[in-house]
A and B are shown apart, each in its own frame.
Chain A
Amino acid sequence: MGYLLFQITLFAYILATSGYVVYFWSQRDDVRTTARGILIGAGVLHTLYLIVRYIEAGHTPLTNHHEAVSFFAWSVTWGYLSFHWKYNVRNFGSFVSPLITGLMLIATFSSREIIPLPPALKSAWLPVHASIAIMANGFLALAFCGGIMYLLQERELKNKRFGLFYTRLPSLESLDNLNSHCLAVGFPLLTLGIITGSVWAKQAWGAYWQWDPKETWSLITWFLYAALLHQRFTVGWRGRRAAIMAIVGFSAAIFTLWGVTYLLEGLHSYVG
């Protein structure tokens, strides 16, 4: 039942992404409306899947790679839709939806096997820490997409060669605003994720901080974003630099999520 629901969700995401790609080329408003409708549907299906998964597993479904990546995709989707409701950033969906589909495909090819929860993870902190940390990644992913759009648009404006993006992408200022809004949500979530993780670590392993690779890398990520925000508020770092930092920061976040798990060994390594 859960698997079928997952597959339907994935299909809906692929459909929405195709819609956004077609919209990017054709710039037809009816295509965009359809694509957005499908994406909202996919988001709802995805939420249902998470609930079903919770019931099937008997605990918060954030303990293996499949679940973590799937929840990541869910965060990006709802993060995007919540922004969409508030700001209108042209063609943002065409950049975000492929990312969502990519995450969902990664989730598809990961093991969906439900592993009994190790005793160390049996805690009320599990849903709190894991969901907050992954939702932070969701908003940082949106800032990353905004950053890429900013760099593409900026390059055409600086070089004065107007190609695919000049007419399609929104103004630099609105992309920069998007960047700061995403970080305004993402960074506090990231901070909260690290704090809750630290509290949980004290409970589970008896120490707040043990410098295991995942902890170290999340701290590095945190410092990157903290530096960006600090510079933005003090000397007004914005535009290109902020866009590059959003991309670098997100790369660090991704490394924390996957790189650490697959390249480095640590306490978190059984988690996605």
Chain B
Amino acid sequence: MSAEKIMILGVNHKTAPVEIRERLSFSSDPGTPYRELKVIPGCEEFCFLSTCNRVEVIFVSPTPEETEKKIRDFLFDNSMSYDEAGQYVYLHQGEAAIQHLFRVGASLDSMIVGESQILGQLKQAYRDASEQNAGGMILNRLMHKAFSVAKRIRTETEIGSSAVSISYAAVELAKKIFGNLKNKIAMLVGAGEMAELAAQHLMNQGIAEVVVANRTFERAVNLARCFNGKPVALEELIPQLEHVDIMISSTGSPDVILHSKDVKPLMRQRRNRPLFLIDIAVPRDLDPKLNDLENVYLYGIDDLNNIVDINKAERDKEAVHAERIVSEETLKFMLWLGSMEVTPTIVAIREKADAIRKAELEKTLPNIGSLSDKEIKAIEKMTSAMMNKILHNPIVYLKKDDSHKDKKVKLASIRKFFNLDNSN
């Protein structure tokens, strides 16, 4: 099995704007990608991952290049040419693809490095793939490995603490503005781990109420249940701000959802009580000019990041540690793939030898004349034993654990000795 068969085609927050990502996410009908990808020739095993920050297809194909072309055309729905789409996508193959998947699962490729939501999303994507019978031996092993790598990184490094510390910084700021949070109201707009984590922190500080606003009211109701909160429709956002003291916004909206001119008249109704706005959406949800309003304090994700930057050196060290684990695990997986290449070689050698043996038997046996079944069986057994004994040493040699590079050389020469690749 060659690693080059494994490919990942995707877009993420770094390569494509939200409008492009949204178009590829198939959030309205998650079944579509499975139906459509399954019929693409060569797409033997695949998994479709779609989150608010990334869309990826992980697939295994004997003809990766051709399959990739078809998948890309499907994703972009032929709305732009292959090369045009190329500016938004990334394509990883073989070892690079494995490494990429491990980094994604461990949240090293996330917008907020170390957030844990991505692992859950990856697991869900894998479950979907299994339910749709899109998985296979390679993909199963690859995905399970990605989960265990993520788990290993989470336990062995402190990478997860930075996402936590950002929401913690938000709470610290709230305390510097309001002092006591006991009679304050927080509003959560949109969803996302960071926002929910911040809301959870605020709850722990004894905040009076959490209001949850969402584009889909149903989602708001579900989320509000987690915080014993009050769900509201997104349209009520501005009237709600009359009572709310802290607003955490993380919608996937490509546009600004709250403008300075919306809030200015509200401040009079609020009797100038301070308003703390936290914008963790990318692209921004909140107008940067809001910070210029009196008694309004607007903090973006970068501002919060700066606060926790005091520990940046520490986190960088953790990231290096995590990357080392990824490299290590990638290498292990490549070795497994390598052993996957040995097995078919052995099978091919045996098959070839057995075919020769059978052909020779068929040629010889009729010429000998009358032989009892018992005698024929004995001859067959003897030829099999001879074959196995001759092949024994080469197979042991092949199976022997060697370095990755040596193994490749060894496989190539053995395949040449037995003339496995050019038939006849």
Contact = CB atoms under 8 A, between A and B. Distances in A.
Given A160-B303, A160-B306, A173-B274, A239 B295 contact: yes
A172 B307 CA distance: 18
Interface string A224-244: 000000000001111111000
- Most chain A C-beta atoms within 10 Å of own C-beta, residue among B175, B176, B306: B176
Contact of A158 (B178, B180, B297, B307): B297
A132 to B, nearest CB: 32
Interface in B166-182: 173, 175-180
Given A160-B303, A236-B273, A171 B295 contact: no
Interface in B84-124: none
Interface in A160-181: 160, 162, 166, 170-174
A166 B176 contact: yes
A240 B267 CA distance: 14
B186 to A, nearest CB: 15
A177 to B, nearest CB: 8
A174 B179 contact: yes
Contact-size category for A: 10 to 19
B173 A238 contact: no
A55 interface: no
Nearest to B272: A236
Contacts of A166: 176
A165 to B, nearest CB: 10
Nearest to A236: B271
Contact of A239 (B176, B180, B274): B274
B291 interface: yes
A70 interface: no
B178 A162 contact: no
A238 B268 CA distance: 11
Nearest to A242: B272
Contact of A171 (B178, B270, B272): B178
A157 interface: yes
Contacts of B303: 160
A235 B268 contact: yes
A153 interface: yes
B295 A157 contact: no
A197 to B, nearest CB: 34
B396 to A, nearest CB: 66
A111 B270 CA distance: 52
Interface string A120-150: 0000000000000000000000000000000
A32 B384 CA distance: 93
A174 B177 CA distance: 9
Contacts of B273: 236, 238
A174 B178 CA distance: 8
B177 A238 contact: no
A157 B175 CA distance: 12
Contacts of A162: 307
A237 B291 contact: no
Contact of B271 (A153, A171, A173, A235): A235
Given A153-B176, A240-B294, A235 B272 contact: yes
Nearest to B310: A162
A239 B307 contact: no
B294 A173 contact: no
Contact of B297 (A157, A170, A235): A157
B299 interface: yes
B176 A157 contact: yes
Interface of B: 173, 175-180, 268, 270-274, 291, 294-295, 297, 299, 303, 306-307
28 contacts: A157-B173, A157-B176, A157-B177, A158-B291, A158-B297, A160-B299, A160-B306, A170-B179, A171-B175, A171-B176, A171-B177, A171-B179, A172-B176, A172-B178, A172-B274, A173-B179, A173-B180, A173-B274, A174-B179, A235-B268, A236-B271, A236-B272, A237-B272, A238-B271, A238-B272, A239-B295, A241-B272, A241-B294
Given A157-B177, A238-B295, 19 more contacts: A157-B173, A157-B297, A158-B297, A166-B176, A170-B179, A171-B178, A171-B179, A173-B177, A173-B180, A173-B274, A235-B268, A235-B272, A236-B270, A236-B271, A236-B273, A237-B272, A238-B271, A239-B274, A240-B295
Interface of A: 153, 157-158, 160, 162, 166, 170-174, 235-241
